[in-house]
């Protein structure tokens, strides 16, 4: 039998080299075929995607993770796969003389469309510079869909109490930016409202109007998670409002709008920001020439501030200072309805009692709560029992007494609170349920101690 394979030790290295060389050549051939197939697919897809998909739509191979091929064209034929292929064509075929020239009836060869580059979205600063450079835009302002009067060009009310609005020379057929932004704001579509508020701020011609728009823009930014920029925008709007000089007739409109924005913030559970805007609104109400309307507005703001679940917000130094200033201002007001004036003083005193309770100064908190109760009893007589502040101040005293360990006094105050709860008429059902639950919880704790 003739041996066809020399297995001697001297010949083995040569055989190993042949095997390795064979594997190398085969691998290059297989990989080159694979690259050709992949780039044929990509060419047929006309460069519409960077991912090859199967029939069901699932992504199979992300082509951008593969290195470029060694051949010039996906349909190129190559002879020697073991040698590097040229990347560009160096030979230009000559046209035959009159034989293969294209005629007028021949259809042009179809070319693959080029990939479209997606433009980057403009930033706020870029849009601002672009809008300022456009001289066709006319500044305008509407009070963000508010139910109150529109502000005039000078910050006050316009003719017949309605603010004059300049019409923009560029009409896009989609409505005004501030109107659309306000619709998104009311519907809590904050992402859609942000660019519209930014545009309205740039186009706005009234300083006070831009301030109010900045407050809503800050609320939208906080709602989508950009709280740093949102807080900056809110503070900027309030600072601009303080530095503005609106007319006396426009103060009530501005204060009402601020109060509405603060209500929206409180509904979004932005209690600290809402409290800050309530203080600003109350400060505007305080300087109104109409004392009755101003004091009534202050009462609405302080009442809303007392509804916050985070009492520590109002217990800050600024919060206590604000309440003392409001209390001192209301006491000096002349020509105000006595019942409204008494209710405001009692509400501010109760709010101060809550602030000192947060600081765990129980005795001082009881003093302010007692002042609130005395004012209501002396000024409103029997009508005091119909006010929720009268019942809340009594309940706050019961809570303070419980912290001080005076459980028998707490029991007596709770009995009084139950009676007052039945006679209170100026709150809604939800507040009544919360008060009932709080009374029952405190009563259970007292029974454990007695």
The CATH number of whichever domain residue 150 belongs to comes to 1.25.40
Judged by DSSP in three states, 151 sits in strand
Mean pLDDT taken over the chain: 74
The verdict on 318 and 208 lying in the same domain is no
The verdict on 318 and 279 lying in the same domain is no
Instruction: Check if the beta carbon of residue 319 is closer than 8 Å to that of residue 296.
Output: no
The closest alpha carbon to 256, from 333, 157, 388, belongs to 157
Residue 175 has a pLDDT of 45
The verdict on 150 and 204 lying in the same domain is yes
Residue scoring higher pLDDT (12 or 243): 243
The verdict on 317 and 228 lying in the same domain is no
The verdict on 414 and 317 lying in the same domain is yes
Residue that terminates a domain, selected from 258, 289, 320: 289
Classify residue 49: in a domain, yes or no: yes
Can you tell me the mean pLDDT for 269-285? 91
Classify residue 240: in a domain, yes or no: yes
Residue scoring higher pLDDT (249 or 12): 249
Q: pLDDT tens, 34-92?
A: 656 665 665 555 454 445 444 444 444 454 444 544 444 444 444 444 455 555 444 44
Residue 400 has a pLDDT of 93
Classify residue 129: in a domain, yes or no: no
Domain range spanning residue 34? 12-65
The verdict on 324 and 433 lying in the same domain is yes
Judged by DSSP in three states, 68 sits in coil
Residue 35 has a pLDDT of 59
> What is Dmax (Cα atoms) for the chain?
132
Classify residue 429: in a domain, yes or no: yes
The verdict on 320 and 389 lying in the same domain is yes
Is pLDDT of 416 > 70? yes
The closest alpha carbon to 258, from 297, 295, 312, belongs to 297
The verdict on 182 and 279 lying in the same domain is yes
The verdict on 346 and 240 lying in the same domain is no
Classify residue 108: in a domain, yes or no: no
Classify residue 302: in a domain, yes or no: no
First-residue to last-residue Cα distance in the chain: 114
User: What's the total number of domains in the chain?
Assistant: 3
Instruction: Check if the beta carbon of residue 375 is closer than 8 Å to that of residue 366.
Output: no
The closest alpha carbon to 377, from 364, 392, 390, 366, belongs to 390
Residue that terminates a domain, selected from 289, 323, 339: 289
Is residue 381 very low, low, confident or very high in pLDDT (cuts 50, 70, 90)? confident
9-13, 195-199, 437-441, 442-446: segment of lowest average pLDDT: 9-13
Classify residue 115: in a domain, yes or no: no
Is pLDDT of 348 > 80? yes
Q: pTM to 2 decimals?
A: 0.60
The verdict on 360 and 254 lying in the same domain is no
Residue scoring higher pLDDT (136 or 12): 12
The verdict on 244 and 285 lying in the same domain is yes
The verdict on 347 and 442 lying in the same domain is yes
């Amino acid at each position: 039998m003739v041996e066809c394979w020399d297995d001697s030790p001297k010949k083995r290295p040569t055989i190993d080299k042949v095997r390795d060389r064979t594997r190398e050549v085969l691998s290059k051939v297989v990989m080159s075929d694979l690259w050709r197939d992949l780039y044929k697919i990509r060419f047929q897809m006309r460069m519409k995607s960077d991912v090859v998909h199967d029939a069901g739509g699932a992504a199979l191979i992300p082509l951008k993770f593969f290195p470029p091929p060694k051949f010039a064209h996906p349909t190129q034929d190559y002879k020697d796969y073991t040698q590097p292929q040229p990347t560009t064509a160096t030979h230009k075929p000559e046209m035959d003389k009159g034989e293969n020239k294209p005629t007028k009836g021949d259809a042009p060869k179809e070319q693959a469309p080029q990939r479209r580059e997606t433009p980057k979205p403009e930033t706020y600063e870029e849009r601002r510079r672009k809008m300022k450079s456009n001289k066709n835009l006319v500044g305008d302002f509407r009070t963000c869909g508010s139910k109150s009067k529109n502000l005039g060009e000078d910050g006050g009310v316009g003719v017949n109490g309605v603010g004059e609005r300049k019409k923009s020379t560029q009409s896009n057929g989609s409505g005004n930016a501030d109107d659309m932004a306000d619709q998104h704001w009311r519907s809590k579509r904050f992402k859609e409202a942000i660019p519209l508020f930014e545009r309205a701020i740039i186009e706005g011609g009234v300083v006070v109007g831009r301030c109010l728009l900045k407050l809503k823009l800050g609320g939208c930014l906080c709602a989508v998670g950009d709280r740093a920029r949102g807080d900056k925008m809110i503070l900027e709007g309030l600072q601009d409002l303080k530095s503005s000089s609106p007319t006396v007739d426009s103060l009530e409109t501005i204060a009402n709008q601020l109060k509405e924005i603060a209500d929206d913030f409180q509904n979004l559970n932005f209690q600290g920001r809402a409290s800050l805007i309530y203080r600003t609104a109350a400060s505007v109400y305080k300087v109104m020439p109409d004392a009755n309307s101003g004091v009534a507005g202050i009462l609405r703001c302080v009442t809303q501030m007392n509804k916050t679940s985070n009492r520590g917000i109002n217990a800050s130094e600024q919060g206590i200072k604000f309440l003392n200033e409001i209390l001192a201002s209301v006491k000096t007001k002349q020509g105000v309805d006595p019942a409204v004036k008494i209710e405001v003083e009692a509400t501010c005193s109760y709010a101060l009692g809550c602030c000192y309770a947060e600081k765990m100064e129980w005795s001082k908190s009881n003093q302010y709560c007692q002042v609130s109760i005395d004012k209501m009893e002396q000024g409103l007589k029997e009508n005091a029992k119909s006010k929720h502040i009268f019942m809340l101040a009594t309940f706050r005293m019961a809570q303070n007494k419980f912290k001080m360990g005076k459980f028998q006094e707490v029991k007596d105050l709770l009995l009084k609170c139950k009676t007052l709860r039945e006679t209170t008429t100026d709150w809604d059902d939800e507040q009544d349920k919360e008060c009932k639950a709080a009374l029952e919880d405190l009563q259970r704790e007292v029974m454990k101690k007695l």
